[in-house]
């Protein structure tokens, strides 16, 4: 992969990169289209990274369908699929990691110890192999996207552009995710409570409510109506540092993590203008 990428660079080609864990859907394809607009060559990686999964998480059962992924990539103009094995990526064992010691402990990081260390490590490795000029990440994984952007800045990666793409949603508002395939019919209906809660918060915000406690209480009532197995968090944070805030001001992020059945779902809404959350209007 690296040898081929170096050849493209010598030829003056711009490389666009979309890192994924496979089981692709329209959300991923929206990232591919953004990469295509930025680059001459588009590379999609498909790699379920073991170092970002905890001991009781879903690494062994993470959904996969390489034939379908390949066809979707072909239809959307992807030039190269990079599909390494865990043995390829960690041939000498995962001895050296990339760790961030501030933002990675908040939100999802508080519930998934070591997760973002694994994410940043594999993204750093992928960047060194694919050598992209531009890389595209989805807003649904907002914390991940912010951490990657900070890693590129702080460690001087020669990735010129990090693009954070809007959330793509199902017709009923549920954010697209490979893990949605875990949901049974009843769970699928109950999962709508996440986007419904974000709509409630957006409505209150547009009506003039700026107190975060009031917004979080309203969202909790909506989510509890979906009878979740657990609510990991309902938070409103400053986008720059992911620290909780009391009152909406500047660029903020409303972030949710909720367990429906055995499935952990995340969603978010950026304020002030829903520029990337992409919630449908009523």
Residues 199 and 158 in one domain: no
Percent of the chain with pLDDT over 90: 95
* Residue that is written with structure tokens 């890389």 in the block: 135
- Shared domain for 200 and 126, answered yes or no, is no
CA atoms within 13 A on the CB side of 104: 20
pLDDT in the model for residue 111: 97
At residue 93, the pLDDT reads: 72
Q: How many domains does the chain have?
A: 2
Query: Is the distance from CB of 167 to CB of 276 less than 8 angstroms?
Result: yes
Q: Which of 281, 215, 228 is nearest to 257 (CA)?
A: 228
Range of the domain at 256: 178-271
Tell whether 54 is covered by a domain: yes
Catalytic residue among 28, 64, 83, 115: 28
Conformational region of residue 261, where left means phi above 0, alpha means psi within -120 to 50, and beta covers everything else: left
Q: What is the rounded average pLDDT of the residues 187-205?
A: 97
- Same domain? 25 vs 70: yes
Distance (Å, rounded) from C-alpha 193 to C-alpha 129? 40
pLDDT interval class at 94 (50, 70, 90): low
For residue 98, being part of any structural domain is answered with yes
Percent of the chain with pLDDT over 70: 99
Q: In the predicted model, what is the mean pLDDT of residues 48-55? A: 96
Are 153 and 198 found together in one domain?
no
The CATH number of whichever domain residue 158 belongs to comes to: 3.40.50.620
158 and 182 share one domain: no
Helices (H), 39-184: 66-75, 86-89, 108-111, 115-130, 142-154
170 within a domain of the structure (yes/no): no
Residue 281 within a domain: no
Rounded CA separation 260/279 (Å): 20
| 160 assigned to some structural domain | yes
Q: What is the mean pLDDT of residues 190-216?
A: 97
**Pair 95, 233 in one domain:** no
Give the pLDDT confidence of 224-258 residue by residue, as tens digits: 999 999 999 999 999 999 999 999 999 999 999 99
- Considering 103, 137, 165, which residue would you say is the last residue of a domain? 165
**Same domain? 20 vs 157:** yes
Query: Helix crossing, 115-130 with 142-154: angle to 10°?
Result: 60
Q: By CB neighbour count within 10 A (0-12 exposed, 13-18 middle, 19+ buried), where does 221 fall?
A: exposed
pLDDT in tens, 109-131: 999 999 999 999 999 999 999 99
78/153 same-domain check: yes
User: Is residue 134 domain-shared with residue 94, that is, in the same domain?
Assistant: yes
pLDDT digits (tens, 9 = 90+) for 5-30: 999 999 999 999 999 999 999 999 99
Q: What is the mean pLDDT of the chain?
A: 96
Shared-domain flag, residues 128 and 202: no
Q: Give 158-186 pLDDT, tens digit per residue.
A: 999 999 999 999 999 999 999 999 999 99
The residue among 132, 165, 198 that closes a domain is 165
> Is 244 part of a structural domain of the chain?
yes
* In a domain? residue 110: yes
> Which pLDDT belongs to residue 92?
80
Quote the pLDDT of residue 198: 98
Catalytic site includes residue 115? no
Query: Residue 281 — pLDDT band, cuts 50, 70, 90?
Result: confident
Distance of alpha carbon 148 from alpha carbon 120, whole angstroms: 7
């Amino acid at each position: 992969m690296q040898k081929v990428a170096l050849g493209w660079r010598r030829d003056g080609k711009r490389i666009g990169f979309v890192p994924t864990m496979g089981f692709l859907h329209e959300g991923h394809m929206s990232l591919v289209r953004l990469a295509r607009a930025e680059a001459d060559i588009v590379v999609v990686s498909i790699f379920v990274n073991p170092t970002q999964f905890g001991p009781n998480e879903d690494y062994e059962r993470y959904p996969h369908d390489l034939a379908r992924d390949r066809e979707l990539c072909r239809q959307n103009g992807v030039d190269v699929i990079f599909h390494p094995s865990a043995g390829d990526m960690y041939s000498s064992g995962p001895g050296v990691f990339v760790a961030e010691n501030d933002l990675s402990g908040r939100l999802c990081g508080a519930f998934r110890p070591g997760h973002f260390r694994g994410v940043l490590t594999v993204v750093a490795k992928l960047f060194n192999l694919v050598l992209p000029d531009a890389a595209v990440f989805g807003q649904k994984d907002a914390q991940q996207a912010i951490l990657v952007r900070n890693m590129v800045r702080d460690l001087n990666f020669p990735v010129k552009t990090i693009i954070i793409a809007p959330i793509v949603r199902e017709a009923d508002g549920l954010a697209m995710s490979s893990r949605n395939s875990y949901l049974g019919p009843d769970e699928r209906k109950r999962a709508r409570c996440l986007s419904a809660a974000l709509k409630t918060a957006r409505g209150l915000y547009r009506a003039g409510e700026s107190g975060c406690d009031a917004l979080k209480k309203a969202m909790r009532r909506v989510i509890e109506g979906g009878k979740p197995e657990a609510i990991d968090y309902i938070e409103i944070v400053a986008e720059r540092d992911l620290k909780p805030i009391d009152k909406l001001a500047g660029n903020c992020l409303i972030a949710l993590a909720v367990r429906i059945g055995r499935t952990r779902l995340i969603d978010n809404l950026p304020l002030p203008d829903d520029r990337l959350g992409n919630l449908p209007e009523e």
